[in-house]
Amino acid sequence: MHKIWAQRKAEAAVQKLEQKRPAGSTPAERLLQKELSELVELKDTKIIPTESILKFNMLYRPSEGYYKGGEFEFKFVIGTNFPHEPPKVLCTNHIYHPNIDTAGNICLNILREDWKPVLNIQAVIFGIRMLFQEPNPEDPLNKDAAKQMVNNPQEFARIVKSSMSGYRIGDVEYDNVLVGLEHDKAW
């Protein structure tokens, strides 16, 4: 009987602590808060907060390469096991890219098998930026784009520009991700 009473008292104490715990105080939330406050300012990358610290969006405007002139949005969802599991990241735009499929899935090793708890959100952001600066046709999600990039780079570049303008390529309609001068001023 004494054991049951002690267990109930311990459970009540834990419940009371959880009620007093301020928002943003789970280990994942505290770590993410610290990481986001320490992010290096990049003129081509912008973090957009949402209602939860465990979810945010990122806008990226490549300043060089095939995707220069576009603005790409990524949705980050951080699990409560972060940093022991990688964040879930999707590209919200339909784009023609060897490493991003039309559902927005991203082929980036550190988001899968190469994730380690020592990695952070900044590493993911740099990885995404690198995919736009140097797409990797050796590890594609969009095999057609990868094949085109390897076999005919000029045609690949033309298709990328057309797709960024919102054209339909084959049976896929792509989002217009081109950024105009008036949009640059708001950045």
Residue found under tokens 């081509």 = 44
Return the domain boundaries, the chain: 26-186
The pLDDT assigned to 4 comes to 52
Write down the catalytic residue from 107, 121, 145, 146. Answer: 107
The pLDDT assigned to 36 comes to 86
Nearest CA among 70, 58, 65, 69 for reference residue 124: 58
The pLDDT assigned to 181 comes to 53
CATH superfamily of the 26-186 domain: Ubiquitin Conjugating Enzyme (3.10.110.10)
- 45 to each of 60, 100, 163, how far by Cα in Å? 5, 18, 21
Tokens encoding 113: 């098998």
The pLDDT assigned to 124 comes to 97
Nearest CA among 19, 87, 30 for reference residue 53: 30
What's this model's pTM, rounded to 2 decimal places?
0.82
The pLDDT assigned to 23 comes to 53
The pLDDT assigned to 76 comes to 98
107 is catalytic: yes
pLDDT tens per residue across all 187 residues of the chain: 544 544 454 444 334 434 434 554 789 999 999 998 888 778 899 999 999 999 999 999 999 999 999 999 999 999 999 999 999 999 999 999 999 999 999 999 999 999 999 999 999 999 999 999 999 999 999 999 999 999 999 999 999 999 999 999 989 999 999 997 555 555 5
